[in-house]
Structure 1
Amino acid sequence: MSIIQTILDLGASVMMPLIILIIGLIVGMKPIKALRAGLTVGVGFIGINLITGTMGTYMTPIIEGLQKNWHMTLDTYDMGWPVSSGIAFSNGSLVVAMFIILIAINILMLIFKATDTLNVDLWNFWHFIMGGALVYALTGNFVMGCIAGGLYGGTVLFLADKHADKIKDFLGYPGVTITTQSFPLMLYICMGIDWLLDRIPGINKIHFSLTKLNPKISFLGEPLFLGFILGFILTLIGGLGWEAALAAGAGMAAVMFILPRMVKILMEGLSPLSNAAQSFMSKKFPGRKVNIGMDLAVLLGDKEIITMAMVMVPITLLLAVVLPGNKLLPFTDLPALTYFMAAPVIAAKRNSFRSLFIGIIVIIGMLYIATDLAPLFTSVGQSSGLVEAGTKSVSALSGGGELIAWIIVKITSIF
């Protein structure tokens, strides 16, 4: 267990190169090429983490300013995904059992053709483990927790196949799909909402993108200018003054300019593995293709996703205030809105109007799910020691994205 925990503590930027190297060797890549692919993916992840960390540095004061100005007094604290992942990895027995179960499920589903996705994103197994931990906390039954986590992971693998073509069209890279959290199900829901919007007269005629403006002002849609403008305006709305606004504008311009390049580096490392895996599968199983299941981070280089995430920051806080029954005070996970806005933007085909509409519906759902899961999150967090005893209520906005886990929890609670 100590070896596994040590590897997990290294994070995705170290885990992923190791996984890419091992799988690359298995599918027939030369050692140097497999190592180069793994290291390139690691560099990409480090770059993405650095840039999203920079985004958090500038967004945190803005969020605090908005909360102060709007006198927000909600009583469930947003502990964020870093604490959530720590809680998921805190139960050693569950972690070991879930890793074995999830890898076995993936292999069996590939053998029996229930999926064509090979999930190499082992770091994000923590989402499935968290689902198992919630059911374990609810029932007190370890086996039920393992079944729940396995069901969560298996469902994601099944659904990830179905949207692989959608991801290929969006990214421009074949053979890659997304297996993070409940993203596959979330994408289908967003596509369903987009389908409904297509059938509403008037609404279906609105086509607008913040990143594709009138030719005379098209420069405002460039990542540099758009990042600066959004960072500047959001800081002023947060009441932080001109100096902070200029600094935030420059910082967000850097985020929008550099992040796509970091994702491109990551994909440069992933493409050789995808090609080698396809070649391996065609030799072993003629006519069959395999998709590489990856972290949602590979989508974050899209400027429409980054733009809509920034626009959604004040909207998310406003929704938290006005929604009846919501108890979550969004904070720690707000800089991670880039992850949550990926499905709306993909479903809306980069139409900013539809992305915003769908994104609002998604965030409303996430706030209510996070509120509903708060008692379980608090219980599991206190048991792990990562949430202090006596803490009234904690949850995570990202916990609202655990849609499949929430469904499993609600079904389990009936029995």
Structure 2
Amino acid sequence: MEFLINAIEWFIGLGSVVFLPVIIFLVGLLFGLKPGKAVMSGITVGIGSIGLGLVLDLLSSGLGNAIQEMGVKYGSSLNVLDIGVGVGGPLAFSTSLGILMIPISLILNFIFVVLGWTKTLNVDIWNFWFPIFLGMLVQSVTGNFWFGILGATTAVILQWLLADLAQKHVSEFFGYPGIAITHLMALSGVLFAKPVNYIFDRIPGFNKIDADAESLTTKFGVLGDTIVIGFLIGIGVGVLAGYDAAGIGTLGMTTAAVMKIMPKMVAMFMEGLLPIAEAAKEFTNKKLNGRTVNIGMDAALTVGHPTVMATALLLVPISLLLAVILPGNNVLPFGDLAFFSFAICLMIPYFNGNIIRSLVGCSLYLVMTFYLSTWLAPVVTNVFSLANFDVGTSGTVTMLLSGLWPAGLLVLLAQTIGITGIIAFGILITMGLIFINKTKKQNIQSESKERGTLL
């Protein structure tokens, strides 16, 4: 066991730009792709990953610093510091629970795929960190390591359920056939966005507003172009951060560059993934009776969409305002201000790419994250303590974007019912997977056959 843990730690230590191409290569071989094509797919995905990393670093170093200065400037009266989900991966993979969950997740996922209980084959190992983090919350509440393992396993299964439910709509909106987004932090917003958009459809006047990226360009010309929108948002953030003229101009150009370059890096990523998705489809047609298998990937594939980027950037000043005016909130938004795009990206398809709907809906979503992250702050602080992870501060800390309903639900179950509640929830979502992927499909097939007989 110690050898396995050391081997996994070494592999993860190589970094995502190394281990992801290796995983893509192995998955390609598994699905019958020729070695040469599998190698090219892996390398191309690696190049796309490096490109995305460079763009995100550009965004973080430029806009990230500015919005953190905004957080200090306008939210100093709040006493719980948001240290940001950026530390989530290093935290998760520095623990025994995190390392053990990697083989557990991969093996269990493969079993579920073979049984037909899920359509998602998740190769996005880095973002296992969020289900692992949820398991660590359970461990913190119960004081039991193995209960933490059960909590993390439940979160992993929930991840597949949400990925299966969202795959069709999300892949059609972003144009990613055969790909499922499996980042649980991003998937959590789907169950919020769908009913909220249903309400938006029934608000007179509001339901007539058409404000997607194309319509904005048509109505406002150059001012509606996403590059110009990015430039103006960067200028606005620079002004609010108190930058001088040179800093404001540089930040505006940096933000505009991100809006232009990000989609191109995502396209490179997808160039490597498409042969894998096609090979998976051919493999399942031959070996699994045509069963659909989608490749689970990072939400980074979606954050380059113009509406995602524009909404995430506009949420920065909105979040600072919400932090100050929401009664009972104790969280100072800081570290997560640069990560909003990852939390809200899968909500955008359910708002049909409409920037106005996305901005209003995602702002309401942020209200939930403020209250949940405030409530979870003592548990989150204890998680860092249990992991002996230095967050460079004293007092109570949280991660604003960890304040999502899956985290709140698992902690609530652990506190009120105990491990019995966690197990019951795990069984319930497993039954949900079986229903949507086996029972429901079989019922549809039976009805189709009956109609064919009648005809």
TM normalised by structure 1 equals 0.95
Runs of 4+ in 1 over 6 A off after TM superposition: none
> For residue 48 of structure 1, what is the aligned residue in structure 2?
52
State the distance in 1 between where 2:185 and 2:60 align.
23
Q: Give the match for residue 67 of structure 1.
A: 71
Match of 1:220 in 2: 223
CA contact (8 A) 2:11 2:19 kept: yes
> Which residue identity does 2:229 align to in structure 1?
L
The offset of 1:370, in angstroms, is 1.6
1:104 aligns with 2:107: yes
Partner residue in 1 for 2:352: 349
> Which amino acid in structure 1 is aligned with residue 206 of structure 2?
I
Find the counterpart in structure 2 of residue 404 from structure 1: 406
C-alpha contact (below 8 Å) 2:118/2:160 kept by paired residues? yes
Q: Give the secondary structure class of the aligned counterpart of 1:146.
A: helix
Provide the rounded CA distance (Å) in 1 between the counterparts of 2:82 and 2:33. Answer: 43
Which AA in structure 2 matches 1:165? K
Q: What's the CA shift for 1:322?
A: 1.1
Equivalences for residues 299-314 of structure 1 within 5 A: 299-314=302-317
Aligned residues: 413
Q: Does 1:281 align with 2:284?
A: yes
Q: Contact between 2:89 and 2:126, CA under 8 Å: does it hold in 1?
A: no
The reply to whether residue 13 of structure 1 matches residue 17 of structure 2 is: yes
CA deviation after TM superposition for structure 1 residue 96, in Å: 3.5
Is the Cα–Cα contact under 8 Å of residues 134 and 377 in structure 1 kept in the other structure? yes
SS of match in other structure, 1:77: strand
Name the stretch that deviates more: 295-304 or 109-118.
109-118
CA distance in 1, matches of 2:184, 2:218: 39
Deviations 1:46-95 (A, max 9, x none): 11111111111122342244235425321111112232222212222x12
The residue that corresponds to 1:125 in the other structure is 128
Which residue is 1:413 aligned to?
A: 415
Q: Deviation string for 1:232-289 (max 9, x for gaps)?
A: 1221122223221111011111111111100000000010000001110110022311
The answer on 1:79 being equivalent to 2:114 is no
Paired residue type of 1:36: M
Identify the residue that residue 343 of structure 2 maps to in structure 1.
Answer: 340
Q: Aligned partners of 2:74, 2:394: CA distance in 1, in Å?
A: 24
In structure 2, the residue corresponding to 1:300 is in which secondary structure? coil
1:115 corresponds to 2:118? yes
The one-letter code of the counterpart of 1:189 is F
Work out whether 1:161 is the aligned partner of 2:194: no
How far apart are residue 214 of structure 1 and its match? 5.7
> Structure 1 60/156 Cα, relative in aligned 2: closer, same or farther at 3 Å?
closer
Q: How far is the alpha carbon of 1:366 from its aligned partner?
A: 1.4
Distance verdict in 2 for CA 1:284–1:258, change over 3 Å: same
Which has the higher mean CA deviation after the structures are superposed, 219-228 or 385-394?
A: 385-394
Give 3-state SS (helix, strand or coil) of 1:195's partner.
Answer: helix
Q: Secondary structure at the match of 2:215?
A: coil
Counterpart CA distance in 1 for 2:214 and 2:314 is 13
Question: SS of the counterpart of 2:295?
Answer: strand
What secondary structure is seen at the aligned counterpart in 2 of 1:109?
A: helix
Quick one: distance in 2 between partners of 1:216 and 1:293? 37
CA distance in 2, matches of 1:240, 1:103: 47
Amino acid at match of 1:147: L
Cα distance in 2 for residues equivalent to 1:177 and 1:330: 30
Q: Give the alignment partner of residue 183 of structure 2, picking from 163, 180, 183.
A: 180
Q: Distance in 2 between matches of 1:279 and 1:316?
A: 46
Q: Is the 8 A contact 1:179 1:293 kept in 2?
A: yes
Alignment-mate amino acid for residue 280 of structure 1? F
126 and 65 in structure 1: CA distance in 2 versus 1, 3 angstrom threshold: closer
| Structure 1 unmatched ranges of 5 or more | none
Distance 2:174 2:393 in 1: 46
Kindly provide the amino acid, as one letter, of the partner of residue 158 in structure 2.
T
Aligned partner letter, 1:247: T
Question: Is residue 271 of structure 1 aligned with residue 274 of structure 2?
Answer: yes
- Looking at structure 2, the residues matched to 345 and 26 of structure 1 have their Cα atoms a distance apart, in angstroms, of 33
Do the aligned partners of residues 63 and 123 (structure 1) sit closer, same or farther apart at CA in structure 2, a change above 3 Å counting? same
Aligned pair in 2 of structure 1 residues 387, 139: CA closer, same or farther (>3 Å)? Answer: same
Amino acid at match of 2:79: D
Tell me the alpha carbon deviations over residues 9-49 of structure 1, each in whole angstroms, 9 at most, x when there is no partner. 23322221111011111111111111111111111111111
Deviation at 1:399, TM superposition (A): 1.3
Is 1:330 the counterpart of 2:330 in the alignment? no
Residue correspondence of structure 1 range 241-256 to structure 2 within 5 A: 241-256=244-259
Structure 1 residues 109 and 214: CA distance shift in structure 2, 3 A = closer
Q: Is the 8 A contact 1:11 1:123 kept in 2?
A: no
Paired position in structure 2 for 1:24? 28
Conserved? CA contact 1:370–1:396, under 8 Å? yes
Q: Is 1:261–2:253 an aligned residue pair?
A: no
